[in-house]
Each structure stands twice: as C-alpha cells, then as structure tokens.
Amino acid sequence: MMRQDLAAGGIFSGLRGFTRLVRGVGIILFLGIMAQADGQAASLTNAVAGVATADGKVVRMVIVGDSTVCEYPEKKPERGWGMYIEENFKPGTVKVINLAASGRSTKTFIQEGRWAKALAEKPDYVLIQFGHNDSHSPDHKEATDAATDYKTYLRQYIDESRAIGATPILVTPMVRRTFGTDGKLEDPLQRYADAMKDVATEKKVPVIDLHASSKGLVVRLGPTAAAELANRKGDLTHFNEKGARTMAGLVMKELPVAAPKLKELLKGD
C-alpha cells in the first residue's frame, strides 16, 4: 500500500511539474506574441504619423525670408508661400521649418539672431529668399545695396549653411504686381534678382528663379487678374491663399531640379 501511495505521489508530482512547464512555455509564447504585436503597432503608428522616410531619416528643410514667405495666423488674410511647401511631399519624408519673418532683409534677419536659430535647426536644405525689404530706400535700417552688401550677406548664408552640412538654395524675390500707367509691369526688384543669380553662379549654388516665373505669370494675368492674388485690395506685394499657393507652385516646379534628391520624395513619384 505504501509503495502504491509513493507511486501515486510520484505520478502527481510529475504531473504538477509538467503543468508548470506547460504554463511556463505558454507564458513565454504569450509574451513573444505580445512583443511582436507591440512592435507591429509601433510600426503602424510611425507610418500613420509619418515620422520617417524609408531609410529612417526625415529631411529637414528650413525656409528663411520675408513676409511673402512666412507663416500667418489662420484668421489673417495674408499667406506666405512657405506655408504650402511641405504638403507637396510624401507624408513623413520632409519636415519644413518656415522661419521667414515679415519685414526682414538679408541684413536684419542675421542681426536679430534669426539666422543663428535657423542654423540651430540642423537643416539638410535651406531655401533663402530675400530682396523686397533689401530694396527699401537707404534710410531704412533693413535696406541693402544690390551690388554690394546684399551679395555679401547672401554669401554668408551660403557659407554658413554649407559649414553645417546643409545645401543652400537661393530663391529670387518674386515681382511686385505694380503696373504703370502704360500698362507695363514695373520691376524695381530685377537688380536684386540679378545680384542673387550672380552670387549663385559665383558660389555654384542652385537657384530657383521665382522672380522670372512670377514675372511671366503676372504679365500674362495683367493688373486685374493679378489683383486676385492679393491679400487685400491695393496690396501689390503680399498674397492671399490663392496667391501664396500659386507662388509655392512656381517654387515646386523648380525645386526638384535645384535639389534632385528631393524628387523621389514628392507625392506621385
């Protein structure tokens, strides 16, 4: 009888051990499945949030410039073309940091420390558009001369962009929509556009000639249709959403040529 009890006890002991083993294996399998599910969920979340490109890197693009480029609150009628660049790229591939500021020139953007903040963003690309405020009369603090210090400041933007490993891209200032009494477009910004292109050639920097493309557009539209791009009646410089999106479209036509590596990141490519 004692031997039978011992045998039975051994069997029950073995069963308990086997049960614990099965439970242990089950827990390990369960934890493995949960970890895999968590990983898949994280991947799905990242894909939906658009946190990275296929190689895990988001391209950082900083835009510097003036009121024709900068961000505006939703309730204001003004819009800058820099607000509509990121949407042209596949989600999660390009992050645009639009640091353009109203009223600034090549000179004052640097003097106010705004350029230092732009460099601190560690961009891969920097789009640079100035000229409107540089062209103000010499008694204004923001004014620069197209033939001299305007070029000097542009060289600084280029050199300091390259120093941190970024690719600078110059964007010539778009035209003001000013028509003379003869019906022809007046163009006081041409000399700044030409100066920028001179620096681009000198420094071997890609340039988007927004001045030329916007001039062609505005001339084709004429004064009445061109006025539909304005933020308010009588404003010949700034844009409403339609105008800003139109300028952004002109920029985007040339951007893949100026920066060929960005082409594969565009929607539809």
**How far is Cα 267 from Cα 269, in angstroms, rounded to an integer?**
6
- Tell me the torsion sign for CA atoms 160, 158, 112, 86: negative
C-alpha 120/C-alpha 129 separation (Å) is: 19
CA distance 68 to 59: 24
What's the pLDDT band for 19 if we cut at 50, 70, 90? Answer: very low
What is d(CA 112, CA 39) in angstroms, rounded to the nearest whole number?
Answer: 45
pLDDT score at 109: 98
What pLDDT does 268 receive? 84
- Per-residue pLDDT of 193-231, as tens digits, reads 999 999 999 999 999 999 999 999 999 999 999 999 999
Model pLDDT, residue 56: 72
Sheet strands side by side (includes 207-208): 94-98, 59-64, 125-128, 167-171, 207-208
Residue 22's pLDDT is: 39
Give bridge partners of residue 63 from the DSSP assignment: 98, 127
Long-range contacts of 181-187 (CB under 8 A, 24+ apart): 183/222, 183/223, 185/215, 185/218, 185/219, 187/215
Residue 240 has pLDDT above 90, yes or no: yes
CA atoms within 13 A on the CB side of 152: 7
Report pLDDT for 54. Answer: 56
pLDDT of residue 32: 45
Is residue 229 a contact partner of residue 239, using CB atoms and an 8 Å limit? yes
Which ranges in 85-234 belong to alpha helices (H)? 106-111, 114-120, 149-163, 190-203, 210-226
What are 145's two structure tokens?
């001369």
| Comparison of pLDDT for 83 and 35, the residue scoring more | 83
pLDDT in tens, 111-131: 999 999 999 999 999 999 999
Closest CA to 169 of 84, 258, 261, 264: 258
In contact, 144 and 157? CB cutoff 8 Å: no
In this predicted structure, the answer to whether residue 26 has a pLDDT above a threshold of 90 is no
pLDDT of residue 269: 65
Q: E-assigned strands of the chain?
A: 59-64, 94-98, 125-128, 167-171, 207-208
In this predicted model, what pLDDT tens digit does every residue of 40-79 receive, in sequence order? Answer: 433 333 333 334 555 679 999 999 999 999 999 999 999 9
Average pLDDT, the chain: 86
Q: What is the pLDDT of residues 131-176, one digit of tens each?
A: 999 999 999 999 999 999 999 999 999 999 999 999 999 999 999 9
CB 69 within 8 A of CB 132: no
Q: What is the pTM of this model?
A: 0.80
Q: Are 259 and 169 in contact (CB under 8 A)?
A: yes
